[in-house]
Each structure stands twice: as structure tokens, then as C-alpha cells.
């Protein structure tokens, strides 16, 4: 799972850069004004905005990719190689440079910073047309400058709207999949992950383990210190679990004081060892209550493993092992009896 996330995170700036590069190329191909000055052909368009948008969404690497794509296309855009082609290539690269100097990073740009980048990239355009001695087309350049500023501001409000909608969707998804108190997976999300883990384990012939973790004498904590402190304890238990399990494992609050953990690619011996690590971490942790009081607590853990236990029996067997751990004195790990998978 972590490897998949790293791959997705690495691909985001690449895809953003390629998409923005193609957008800039389309602007040059279909939405540009061309006029001749001497032996050169000058193209007036909004390709610089594509580089800015790319930098906004994907950061420096994304902006560089789009700038190179746009610059190379301008260099070989159908006409015989001209001096203006090299100026166009330099325009794209200098646009990237001034954008990187103006903007902090992906999605961290205020309207003030964005407007500063618009003016800076417009100055790059002015320098380019001055080099090409095309500044004599004063009306066209003034019109383009005004239109460029308006288009840049419009683009900013569009991408900010999209970002807010994306953030709202992310928050909604997080709320739907995570427990409101501990921020661990909730039962519905965990059950979905559990089913997918079974499918992956069968397909790739991998083992995995299920842990059911229950706080010992949690009712006494609620009765003695109140439910608010009980919630405080639950949050800290979730934090200890999060620190103890491995990257790529899943942890959920199943309800009340009970938690569940999926240990991916884990055999019976490893599962018991990791469960013992969790039990020891809980026993050694000092839980701090709202009034500053400190308490100690313990957990009991039931363990079941696939393929030693059939998938449909993993939860019942882990629960049975948990009950056995409670019956044998609590603060211990119990391994389920095997119910072989078919």
C-alpha cells in the first residue's frame, strides 16, 4: 500500500506537467495570433498560463516538464527554425524560472502571489517581443497584456474553486472512512479492507493475520474518571497502535474499547510477536487524562491467521482467542485454534 501511494504521489506532478504541456501546445496550435516581423514569426498566446497552472498543481517538477514540452514544441512548431523559435523556447524556460521565484509550491499560492506571477511572466513576454523587435505592434501588445491579466485571474479563481471542491471531497471521504474520535478506520471501511486483503492473499498466495485488541477493565476507567477521560484514553490507545503497527498494516476501531488490526504478509509466529509488541507498548505507556492524572492500562489480544484459518472464521476465531486471553487473566496474547481454509 505504501509503495502504491509513493507511486501515485510521484506520478501526480508528472501527469500535471504533461497535461499542462499539452494544454500550452494546444494554445499555440489553435488559439494563437501570429504575425511576421522581419524574418521572424511571432506567436501571441496564453502558453505561459499553462506553465503557471502546472506549477500550482504539481510544483517545480511539474512546471519544468510543461515548460520543456512547450519550449520544444515552439522550437519545432512547423516553420523553418528561426531566431523567434529560440526566443519562444527561452520564453517558456524563463516563464518557469520567474514562476518558481514567485510561487511557494503546489497549492500554496495566494491571489497576491498569483497576480505577482502574472505580472512577472507578462514582463517575460514583453522582453521576448522586444528582442524580436515586435514591440511596434503596440495596440496588439496592450490588448494581449490586458487579456492575459484577465485570463490569469480567471484561471486562478477556477483552480481555487476546483481545489476547494477537491478538499471538500477529501474531507467527506475521510469522514466516511474514519472513526470520528480516534481517526482510525471505522468498521465499514475496515470490513472493506478486510475483504480486499482476503482477495489479494488468495490471488498472490500470501498470509496475513487479524488481531482483535480489547482494553482490559475499560468500564472501570469510565466509572472512575468519566466518559470524557474514557474518550481521551481511546485516542491515546489509537496513537500507540498507530506507532506500533508496521507501515502497510490497517487498524480500526470496531466499537467501544475494541480495535482490530490487519497484519499484511504476516505468518503465525510474526503475528504473535507483533501482538506482544502491541501488548507491551500499551502496558508501558503512561496515559494522561484531562486533569493531568496519569494511569496505566493493559490490553488483551486475540490472533487468527490466514491461511491457517478460513477467511469466514478469522473474526470469530480471533474473538474466541480474545475471550480466552481474558479468561486466563488478561494482559496477554492468545492465538486462535486453526480452522483450515478450503
Q: CB of 204 within 8 A of CB of 272?
A: no
Q: CA 144 to CA 129: how far, in whole Å? A: 12
Q: CA 339 to CA 321: how far, in whole Å? A: 13
Exactly one of 79, 203, 239, 257 is catalytic; name it: 257
Asked if 108 is an active-site residue, the reply is no
Torsion of Cα atoms, 82 then 84 then 87 then 88, to 10°: -100
Q: CA 149 to CA 4: how far, in whole Å? A: 40
Task: Write out the H or E segment, with its range, that includes residue 113.
Answer: helix 111-131
- Sequence-distant (6+) residues with CB within 8 A of 9 are none
- Sequence-distant (6+) residues with CB within 8 A of 267 are 207, 209, 305
Q: What is the helix, strand, coil percentage profile of the chain, to 5?
A: 65, 15, 25
Q: CB of 285 within 8 A of CB of 275?
A: no
In the beta sheet, which residues pair with residue 294? 288
Active site residues: 257
Amino acid at each position: 500500500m505504501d509503495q502504491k501511494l509513493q507511486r501515485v504521489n510521484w506520478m501526480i506532478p508528472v501527469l500535471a506537467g504533461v497535461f499542462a504541456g499539452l494544454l500550452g501546445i494546444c494554445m499555440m496550435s489553435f488559439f494563437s495570433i501570429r504575425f511576421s516581423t522581419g524574418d521572424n514569426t511571432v506567436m501571441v498566446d496564453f502558453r505561459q498560463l499553462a506553465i503557471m497552472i502546472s506549477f500550482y498543481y504539481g510544483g517545480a517538477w511539474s512546471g519544468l516538464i510543461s515548460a520543456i514540452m512547450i519550449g520544444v514544441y515552439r522550437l519545432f512548431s512547423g516553420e523553418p527554425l528561426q531566431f523567434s523559435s529560440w526566443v519562444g523556447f527561452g520564453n517558456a524556460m524563463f516563464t518557469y524560472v520567474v514562476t518558481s521565484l514567485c510561487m511557494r509550491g503546489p497549492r500554496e499560492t495566494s491571489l497576491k502571489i498569483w497576480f505577482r506571477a502574472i505580472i512577472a511572466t507578462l514582463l517575460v513576454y514583453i522582453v521576448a517581443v522586444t528582442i524580436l523587435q515586435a514591440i511596434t505592434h503596440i495596440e496588439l501588445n496592450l490588448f494581449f497584456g490586458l487579456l492575459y491579466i484577465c485570463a490569469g485571474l480567471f484561471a486562478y479563481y477556477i483552480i481555487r474553486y476546483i481545489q476547494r471542491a477537491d478538499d471538500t471531497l477529501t474531507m467527506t471521504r475521510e469522514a466516511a472512512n474514519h472513526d470520528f474520535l480516534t481517526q482510525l478506520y471505522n468498521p465499514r471501511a475496515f470490513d472493506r479492507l478486510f475483504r480486499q486483503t482476503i482477495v489479494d492473499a488468495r490471488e498472490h498466495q500470501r498470509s496475513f493475520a487479524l488481531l482483535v485488541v480489547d482494553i482490559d477493565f475499560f468500564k472501570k476507567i469510565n466509572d472512575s474518571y468519566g466518559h470524557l477521560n474514557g474518550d481521551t484514553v481511546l485516542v491515546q490507545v489509537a496513537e500507540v497502535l498507530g506507532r506500533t503497527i508496521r507501515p502497510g498494516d490497517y487498524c480500526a476501531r470496531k466499537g467501544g474499547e475494541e480495535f482490530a488490526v490487519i497484519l499484511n504478509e504476516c505468518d503465525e509466529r510474526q503475528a504473535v510477536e507483533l501482538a506482544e509488541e502491541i501488548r507491551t507498548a500499551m502496558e508501558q505507556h503512561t496515559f494522561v487524562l484531562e486533569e493531568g492524572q496519569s494511569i496505566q492500562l493493559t490490553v488483551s489480544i486475540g490472533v487468527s491467521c490466514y491461511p491457517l484459518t478460513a477467511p469466514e472464521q478469522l473474526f470469530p476465531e480471533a474473538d474466541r482467542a480474545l475471550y480466552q486471553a481474558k479468561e486466563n487473566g488478561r494482559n496477554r496474547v492468545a492465538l486462535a485454534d486453526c480452522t483450515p481454509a478450503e
